[in-house]
Amino acid sequence: MKTTIKCIIGTLCLGAAALSGQVANAEALDDIKAAGVIKVGVKADYKPYGFLDSSGASIGIEPELAQDVADKLGVEIEFVPVVSSNRMQFLEQGKIDLMIATMTDKPDRRKVVGIVDPNYYSSGTNILAPKKYGFKKWEDLNGKPVCGIQGAFYNKRTSENYGATIVAFKGTAEAYAALQAGSCVAFVYDDSAIVAKAKEAGFEEYEMPLPTIDDAPWGLAVPLGEEKFKDFMSEMTIDWHKSGRILELETKWGVANTPFAIAMHEKYK
Amino acid sequence: MRTTTLKSVLPVLLPAKAKSGSLFSFRLKLWHGIILLCICLLTSTAGFAQSDPIKASVFEILLRWMPLLLTAFIFNIAISMLAMGIGTAAGTVLGLGQISPNAGLRKFCWFITQFFRNSPWLVLLFFAMFLLPFEFSIGGIDIPLPDWLKATIGLSLPVMANMSEIVRGAVNSLPSGQWEAAESLAYSRRQTLWLVILPQCVKRMLPPWMNLYSILTMATVLASVVGVSEVMTTTGRALASEGGRPDLLAPFYSFVLLIFFIYCYPIARWTVYLEKKFAVKG
């Protein structure tokens, strides 16, 4: 009995002592080439930027961009599904080599991960609301329940600046259902997704009534300090803008060409 | 003189009848299944009626995603089995510690048991997710600790504590005569425990242990909160990939409910059967 207990305590101590490992990354680009595979963190619940097909494979605009990177490097690709709350952690921990996961470029995030310039995409915040409410400005939402997605940065803004009460859901399906059931007066989300949704059957009585706010660029990211890999990704991004690849992907996945993508294409053409 | 009229010449005492029906006599039959299926069909068609006829029918969509959802469910089962294994092993040690003759060890094991038994499962899961490192090295070899394994460890903590109580309860439930008899035969404490007490406990522990497993299996969906790709996470992704159609919510979540029910109900039946089998005849 006693020896068993001692054994267990000993193992626990050994385990605790071993919990002190940090990965030292030398050159990510060389490591990727040597491994022959690039691990890319993409969203799995964000149609059309990153989602799943029924076989479980990652598809969408961002997985296709990631595939371009893998093709250029001549390596295999491995998609790792990430969510907003763990994507930067995964990159820091080395679980992924590259992150293309609808992340808004923010100064505080630049301290944690290596965000690549120029930005590859951009989106703003808007609401989907029934036409009957006739919202005209963001202040109209004051004191009203507004649906949102858990972990989205604009939830805080909508509640702090405009006084809305945010009801946050796990996924878009739940949020749309709550909106249709009248649990909230509007759904705050990305403008490009809302434009597409308002055109769908069942949403004829809904509109995107407010001016888009927070039009912020998205940043794809590499681990902090990987300058060579970052330069490589900068070139990749400029190529995408130059060749109109982003515009082409938007059309392919059913998103109206965004002003940002058009402007970047003009700039680098 | 008063005469008493008796209904019967020879009054007899009738055997006592239980007033309520026995709970154990109720079990699912085929027609229950048909009713369940009808409810599922009704909710699905209600969803279908709302949507545009051009869109693929709810059933087609569900059928398309079914293989992926079932694969994810197998992952849930794997998590539950592994957590049960770890929890049972650790819980048995802890439970035996609770009945140790050493007062210090007994108190320590009691404290650990009570601590983990009275903590919410989800909180323990978060605790494991964020306190365990993503990889650790033993002798220069990096051993990665993936999220699902961390979640498994997190779930095995409450299992361990509950198992500890099951073991303690089972040992205490044995008549003290067993201990005394073994002592009179000059068995050491360890011999008594291994050769006399524990073999008798296994029978008593099996039904609550299986109950615990059932509860654990149903709790594995908690892992979706911390981003493990199990069946709830996959359902969420499937719903998002179908463009967030609200009419798909009920059929998809009903399907998840159904597969859990199909898996857990036989375990519950079997537990009842074992309970009956091992029950002391009155």
In this structure, what CATH number is given to the domain that contains residue A178? 3.40.190.10
pLDDT tens-place string over residues A124-175: 888 888 888 888 888 888 888 999 888 777 888 888 888 888 888 888 888 8
pLDDT tens-place string over residues A190-241: 887 888 788 777 788 888 888 888 788 899 999 998 889 999 999 999 999 9
CA distance A220 to A218: 7
Same domain, A94 and A225: yes
Least CA distance to A94: which residue of chain B? Answer: B134
CA distance B232 to B170: 35
Same domain, A173 and A224: no
- A13 inside domain: no
* Vertex B122 angle, CA B119 and B126, to 5°: 105
CB-based contact B71 A85, cutoff 8 Å: no
Q: Cβ of A150 under 8 Å from any chain B Cβ?
A: no
CB-based contact B68 A52, cutoff 8 Å: yes
The pTM score is 0.77
CA nearest to B249, candidates B82, B98, B44 = B44
In this predicted structure, the answer to whether residue A26 has a pLDDT above a threshold of 80 is: no
- A56 inside domain: yes
Q: Cβ of A197 under 8 Å from any chain B Cβ?
A: yes
Same domain, A96 and A223: yes
Range of the domain at A43: 26-120+219-268
Task: With beta carbons less than 8 A apart as the criterion, state whether B207 and B275 touch.
Answer: yes
| % of residues, chain B, pLDDT over 70 | 83
Q: Cβ of B31 under 8 Å from any chain A Cβ?
A: no
Beta bridge pairs of residue A189: A126
β-pairing, A121-130 with A114-115? unpaired
Q: Specify the number of domains making up chain A.
A: 2
pLDDT level of residue B81 (50, 70, 90 thresholds): very high
Task: With beta carbons less than 8 A apart as the criterion, state whether A167 and A184 touch.
Answer: yes
CB-based contact A173 B245, cutoff 8 Å: yes
CB-based contact A176 B246, cutoff 8 Å: yes
DSSP structural state of residue B230: S
Same domain, A114 and A238: yes
Q: Cβ of B26 under 8 Å from any chain A Cβ?
A: no
Q: Cβ of B96 under 8 Å from any chain A Cβ?
A: yes
Same domain, A246 and A186: no
Least CA distance to A56: which residue of chain B? Answer: B68
Q: Is the ipTM of this complex over 0.85?
A: no
DSSP structural state of residue B7: S
Task: With beta carbons less than 8 A apart as the criterion, state whether B122 and A27 touch.
Answer: no
CA distance A86 to B146: 13
Q: Cβ of B71 under 8 Å from any chain A Cβ?
A: yes
pLDDT tens-place string over residues B98-132: 999 999 999 999 999 999 999 999 999 998 888 88
CB-based contact B237 A170, cutoff 8 Å: no
- Class of CATH domain B56-135+142-278: mainly alpha
- A203 inside domain: yes
CB hemisphere CA count around B263 (13 angstroms): 20
Residues 73-132 of A with CB under 8 A from B: 81, 83, 85-86, 93, 95
* A-to-B residue pairs, Cβ atoms closer than 8 angstroms: 101
Q: Cβ of A4 under 8 Å from any chain B Cβ?
A: yes
Least CA distance to A83: which residue of chain B? Answer: B227
CB-based contact B238 A54, cutoff 8 Å: yes
Q: Cβ of B70 under 8 Å from any chain A Cβ?
A: no
- A177 inside domain: yes
- A8 inside domain: no
Task: With beta carbons less than 8 A apart as the criterion, state whether B47 and B120 touch.
Answer: no
Same domain, A227 and A208: no
* Vertex B53 angle, CA B51 and B57, to 5°: 75
pLDDT at A42: 94
DSSP chain A: -HHHHHHHHHHHHHHHHH-------S-HHHHHHHHTEEEEEEESEETTTEEE-TTS-EESHHHHHHHHHHHHHT-EEEEEEE-TTTHHHHHHHTS-SEE-S--B--HHHHTTSEEPSSPSEEEEEEEEEEGGG---SGGGGTTSEEEEETT-THHHHHHHHH--EEEEESSHHHHHHHHHHTSSSEEEEEHHHHHHHHTSTT-TTEE--SPPEEEEEE--EE-TT-HHHHHHHHHHHHHHHHHTHHHHHHHHTT-PPPHHHHHHHHHH-
Q: What are phi and psi of A59, to 5 degrees?
A: -135, 170
Return the amino acid letter for A50. Answer: G
CA nearest to A235, candidates A64, A99, A117, A68 = A117
pLDDT level of residue B7 (50, 70, 90 thresholds): low
Task: With beta carbons less than 8 A apart as the criterion, state whether B164 and B99 touch.
Answer: no
pLDDT level of residue A67 (50, 70, 90 thresholds): very high
pLDDT tens-place string over residues B189-244: 999 999 999 999 988 899 999 999 999 999 999 998 887 889 999 998 898 888 77
CA distance B88 to B159: 7
Q: Where would I find the beta strands (DSSP E) of B88-161? A: 135-138, 141-144
- A63 inside domain: yes
Sign of CA dihedral A188, A190, A195, A199: negative
